[in-house]
């Protein structure tokens, strides 16, 4: 009754289109995920977004799904046939072994990521991070990954923004995998990589410009070792892959056995 009265007085407003919509109980409980998730979708869950988006904008979320490239994870425009390597992965050898994403970087997902990163909507870290966790559980089995590493920000940008969005997406993951339903320890190494060189924003740059811009921007933290480790890099958006490729190069050069990539959104 109290919740209904609150919604009647203060109806929720959609984060994307700003329209008022029918209320939804936003007091969602964390769901512990088994290490072998049976999630059939990419990780998209409309119930997680219902407190923040109207039904129209929820339907504007495009989840990733087959057919896609088994290496870089790009989703093909044609929706028939099976997974196969894309032209770019045939022409260019990737540093990472596999990349996957929750949804397309467009529409509602693009708007939510911008709200999260630039408009102080820190509460979005919870639903977006949980969807990302479902994507992880769909594509990686227990034992595939030793360490999960968020892409670091340069200290200057971290001070300006106040938080690392990639780390915030991972912050609640240990809760999802705890207890009898999981028992799988998620080893998040937020300090394994450092961003040692300031770079110009990647937005608006082409592939080669992005690669040149980001080259030499990362290093291992002092005293860190990655020999024989399988590492999962986590970021909010995969655009051309220049940033994760440079991080993967550093990790492999330092002896990592394998590097995979997981992002919330994938530009196509």
Digit-coded pLDDT (tens) for 71-81? 999 999 887 88
Q: Is the pLDDT of residue 36 over 60?
A: no
CATH number at residue 204: 3.40.50
Digit-coded pLDDT (tens) for 102-144? 999 999 999 999 999 999 899 999 999 999 999 999 999 988 9
Task: Choose between 70 and 30: higher pLDDT.
Answer: 70
Please report the pLDDT score of residue 44 as a whole number. Answer: 77
In a domain, 59, yes or no: yes
Q: Is the pLDDT of residue 169 over 80?
A: yes
In a domain, 7, yes or no: no
Mean pLDDT of 158-185: 81
- The count of structural domains within the chain is 1
In a domain, 2, yes or no: no
- 29 band by pLDDT with thresholds 50, 70 and 90: very low
Please report the pLDDT score of residue 204 as a whole number. Answer: 64
In a domain, 220, yes or no: yes
- 218 band by pLDDT with thresholds 50, 70 and 90: very high
In a domain, 142, yes or no: yes
Q: What is the rounded CA–CA span in Å between residue 183 and residue 57?
A: 36
In a domain, 145, yes or no: yes
Mean pLDDT of 79-86: 90
Mean pLDDT of 9-17: 83
In a domain, 5, yes or no: no
In a domain, 29, yes or no: yes
What residue numbers bound the domain in which 158 lies? 12-78+87-266
Q: Is the pLDDT of residue 209 over 90?
A: no
Please report the pLDDT score of residue 8 as a whole number. Answer: 55
What pTM does this model have?
Answer: 0.87
- 30 band by pLDDT with thresholds 50, 70 and 90: very low
Q: Is the pLDDT of residue 208 over 90?
A: no
Please report the pLDDT score of residue 104 as a whole number. Answer: 95
């Amino acid at each position: 009754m109290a919740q209904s009265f609150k919604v009647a007085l203060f109806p929720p407003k959609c984060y994307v289109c700003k329209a008022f919509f029918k209320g939804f109980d936003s007091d969602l409980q964390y769901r512990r995920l088994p290490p072998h998730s049976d999630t059939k979708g990419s990780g998209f869950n409309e119930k997680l977004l219902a407190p923040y988006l109207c039904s129209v904008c929820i339907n504007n979320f495009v989840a990733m799904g087959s057919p896609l490239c088994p290496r870089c994870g790009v989703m093909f425009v044609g929706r028939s046939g099976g997974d196969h390597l894309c032209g770019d992965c045939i022409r260019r050898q990737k540093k990472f072994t596999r990349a996957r994403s929750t949804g397309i970087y467009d529409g509602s997902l693009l708007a939510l990521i911008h709200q999260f990163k630039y408009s102080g909507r820190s509460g979005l870290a919870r639903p977006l991070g949980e969807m990302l966790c479902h994507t992880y559980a769909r594509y990686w089995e227990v034992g595939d990954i030793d360490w999960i590493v968020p892409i670091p920000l340069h200290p200057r940008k971290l001070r300006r923004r106040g938080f690392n969005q990639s780390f915030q997406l991972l912050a609640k993951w240990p809760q999802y995998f705890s207890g009898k339903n999981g028992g799988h320890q998620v080893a998040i190494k937020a300090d394994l990589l450092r961003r040692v060189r300031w770079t110009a924003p990647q937005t608006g740059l082409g592939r080669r410009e992005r690669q040149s811009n980001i080259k030499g921007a990362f290093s291992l933290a002092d005293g860190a070792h990655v020999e024989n480790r399988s590492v999962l890099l986590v970021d909010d958006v995969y655009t051309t892959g220049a940033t994760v490729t440079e991080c993967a190069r550093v990790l492999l050069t330092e002896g990592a056995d394998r590097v995979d990539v997981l992002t919330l959104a994938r530009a196509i």
